[in-house]
Structure 1
Amino acid sequence: MSTADVVAFVIFAIIWLAYEPLLRVLARDNGMINTDMTVVRGAWMRTMAGRENKFMDGQLLGHTLNSASFFASSNLILIAGAAGVLFGGEGAFRSASSLMVLKTSSRLLFEAQIALMVLALARGLLDFIWAIRQMNYCLAVIGATPTTDDKDFQRQYGSLAAQVLNPALSSFNRGVRGYYFALAAAAWLFGPAAFLTATLAAVALLFSRQRHSPTARAIRELRGVLEKRGD
């Protein structure tokens, strides 16, 4: 493994592990989709608590639950495929080495490249699994919502329900984010320069979508509207 490979790997590891803590720090001052959506979902749960018919709320959460299940299944298939290559032995290495576009100088480097991709996907899979469990808890919370005209109780119950829902969706977001880093890890097969470029491009794209995308701006304005109304 060359010095360039080691440097690219270290930068990837730092960015991969530091991304979410850094995102939370930046969100304190600037606002990001993830933090703005916690306010929106809080308003949703408080509205849900005051709504007599909660069928729509269950349907909305059920749709997200289906999405998480789909991504988890896809992750599992990708992990199985990559693991098959990883444990394919000398034959898999020779097949990969015969491709001119791949930059893998040794079997050890090749296995490290595939293992990193599997690790990124596996972390995403665990996030999706945890998201699914939490969403099921939230469905139970919605189903248990009592019918009452007590506005204070509705706000309190809705706020507590949001504390169950928000971590579930945060786990889902982390799982989706895992695809970005898995793709960056896969770029290592094309050499350390491609690996480093893909890593920086992935994190730049993630930050850009969190802060500067049209969706981010719209959600930021929507959060302001909700906060002005006191929802």
Structure 2
Amino acid sequence: MDWSATLIGGFDSPLMVKDWVAITIFFGTWFAYARIAKFRAKREHTLSSIMRKHREHWMRQVMLREQRVSDATILGNLERVVTFFASTTILLLAGTLTAMMSADGLVEVINSAHLADSASAESVRAKLFFLALIFVYAFFKFTWAVRQYIMCAILLGGAPIHHGEPIELPLSDEFEAFALRAAKMSDLANHDFNHGLRAYYFALALLGWLINVWVLLGASSLVLFTLAQREFASKAVQVLRDQ
């Protein structure tokens, strides 16, 4: 049997069976990590859960201030960071599509590597197509995060203002409800930003697929370890938890 052109789902695929198995494991690992990270964030101290508490604290402090220019500036800076990544993703996507059209030249480079599997232009295009899909996903996540930061800024602009005597913690029901709503919007934006960044990490791992499936799986494991260490056991988590 010619494994380089296996019948998958009723059509001749330029990818081998081991490629389909590896890419399934790749996306399965990505999805599983996202679910586990979300599950653990609800039950223990992780970077995401700790930062959610800090956002709530931030918005409560906003309610105590009459002048909120500095808070609006912080939101604007966060929005610009995400916008930068969204713009960069478009450039990366354009570069990936260009590489797909120049696959013949890439095949010569890949086949010259000692550890690389024998590649064809069709298989290289198929692998780069998956890379392009990841960048499309990242672009949608980044742009949605930008919109949510804009929504958060609008919420901040319409925040209730206390008149008369300065208020103190704990806040009244009106101010507390608003603070939690604004913090939740900021948290949603940050989650989508994190999903976009996570896509970048896994996109780097996917580049190993151009060499062989073992490099892909090894790079995916390294990315998974790096993300888990930073989310659950990094020094940043310790500092924020101890604060």
Q: What TM-score, normalized by structure 1, do the two folds share?
A: 0.89
1:96 maps to a residue whose letter is L
Distance 1:80 1:15, change over 3 A: same
Q: Using the aligned pairs only, state the percent identity.
A: 27
> Does the 8 Å contact 1:211/1:217 carry over to 2?
no
Match of 1:131 among 115, 134, 145: 145
> Does the 8 Å contact 1:104/1:110 carry over to 2?
no
Residue 31, structure 1, aligned to residue 41, structure 2:
no
- Secondary structure of the residue aligned to 1:53 is coil
Match of 1:161 among 182, 199, 209: 182
Q: Give the drift of 1:62.
A: 0.8
> Does the 8 Å contact 1:50/1:154 carry over to 2?
no
Larger of the two Rg values belongs to structure:
2
- Paired residue for 1:95? 105
Residue 197, structure 1, aligned to residue 218, structure 2:
yes
Q: Give the drift of 1:72.
A: 0.5
Q: Give the drift of 1:208.
A: 0.5
- Paired residue for 1:84? 98
Q: What TM-score, normalized by structure 2, do the two folds share?
A: 0.85
> Does the 8 Å contact 1:33/1:211 carry over to 2?
yes
For residues 153-193 of structure 1, what are the alpha-carbon distances to aligned partners after superposition, in whole Å with 9 as ceiling and x for unaligned?
A: 32221111112111011111111111101111111111111
Match of 1:178 among 175, 199, 203: 199
In structure 1, runs of 5+ residues without a counterpart are 223-231
- Secondary structure of the residue aligned to 1:58 is helix
Structure of higher RCO (CA pairs closer than 8 Å, 6+ residues apart): 1
CA-atom RMSD in angstroms: 1.5
Report runs of 4+ in structure 1 exceeding 4 Å deviation. none
In structure 2, runs of 5+ residues without a counterpart are 1-14
Equivalenced residues, count: 218
Task: Report which of the two has the higher share of helix.
Answer: 1
For residues 106-129 of structure 1, what are the alpha-carbon distances to aligned partners after superposition, in whole Å with 9 as ceiling and x for unaligned?
A: 233211210111111111110000
